[in-house]
């Protein structure tokens, strides 16, 4: 076991051994083939190393960390740090989107709202409340859809990647969820409009024959009064009424979510 570990320590070693054996075996059997087969086989012998080199550099460009084993790093911290950094790159677009929406929420506050009890209870720290609202909504969706639901996913369609808050992706159903936090009735609807445009781009890339059910969903999390919720729902539906893509709008009460999950 020790001698094996000495030579085969990472994926690079496996690739090198595989390439060497393949070329050696191919060269060894070449004289025993007929002339007709030799003409075809020689192209494989020449083309295989070229293809392997191209795939190697493609992997080196896209996921260079996959070519090394944890033991190749000086310490465990170096390995885990690289893994966390790579994952964080996939979340950059999502975090930028969240920052933009948080900024809109903060800018929309006025002096009257700041003096109200609802504002004091909800948006003393808009950033914290925003992420709490999203996390509780995702937790609620996970409870409703059970093991079919995945949060903070990257949906890959025809070479394009789309950051999604929540996703149900099975052989029968594709349901996409985006969470929007509304601390008050007058929160700008810009985020709803951007999400609709984002859903349109995704819809154009989906192969409709792959799924029996395809839905696009916007979950609004808020703690406003019940009458204001109806007004908010009316405003959002009115905004989307003239659009061609059907969007399902659902409102989650933030206080109910906090009570349900004992916060």
Domain ranges of the chain: 2-88, 92-260
**Is the pTM value of this prediction over 0.85?**
no
What are the residue ranges in the chain where pLDDT is below 50?
1-4, 77-82, 84-89, 110-114, 118-119, 121-123
Long-range contacts of 204-211 (CB under 8 A, 24+ apart): 205/157, 205/158, 205/160, 206/157, 206/174, 210/174, 211/172, 211/173, 211/174
pLDDT at 102: 59
* 136, 138, 141, 145: CA torsion to nearest 10: -140
Fold of 92-260: Trna Endonuclease; Chain: A, domain 1 (3.40.1350)
Query: Which of helix, strand or coil describes residue 203?
Result: helix
- Per residue in 39-48, pLDDT (tens digit) is 788 888 788 8
pLDDT at 86: 47
pLDDT at 118: 47
Q: Alpha-carbon distance 41 to 13, whole Å?
A: 26
* Cβ contact 217:195 at 8 Å: no
Q: In this structure, how many other beta carbons lie within 10 angstroms of the beta carbon of residue 94?
A: 15
pLDDT at 30: 75
């Amino acid at each position: 076991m020790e001698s094996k570990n000495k030579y085969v320590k990472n994926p690079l070693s496996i690739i090198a051994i595989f390439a060497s054996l393949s070329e050696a075996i191919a060269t060894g059997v070449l004289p025993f083939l007929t002339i007709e087969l030799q003409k075809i086989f020689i192209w494989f012998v020449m083309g295989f190393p070229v293809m392997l080199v191209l795939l190697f550099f493609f992997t080196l460009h896209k996921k260079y960390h996959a070519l090394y084993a944890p033991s190749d790093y000086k310490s465990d911290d170096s390995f885990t740090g690289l893994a966390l950094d790579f994952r964080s790159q996939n979340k950059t677009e999502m975090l930028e989107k969240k920052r933009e929406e948080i900024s809109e929420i903060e800018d929309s506050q006025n002096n009257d709202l700041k003096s109200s009890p609802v504002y004091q209870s909800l948006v003393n720290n808009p950033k914290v409340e925003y992420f709490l609202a999203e996390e509780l909504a995702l937790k609620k969706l996970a409870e409703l859809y059970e093991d079919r639901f995945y949060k903070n996913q990257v949906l890959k369609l025809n070479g394009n990647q789309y950051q999604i808050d929540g996703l149900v992706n099975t052989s029968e159903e594709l349901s996409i969820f985006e969470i929007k936090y509304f601390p008050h009735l007058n929160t700008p609807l810009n985020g709803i409009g951007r999400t609709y445009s984002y859903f349109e781009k995704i819809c154009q890339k989906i192969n409709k024959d792959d799924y029996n059910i395809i839905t696009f969903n916007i979950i609004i999390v808020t703690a406003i009064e019940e009458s204001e919720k109806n007004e908010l729902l009316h405003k959002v539906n009115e905004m989307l009424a003239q659009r061609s893509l059907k969007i399902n709008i659902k409102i989650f009460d933030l206080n109910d979510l906090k009570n349900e999950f004992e916060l």
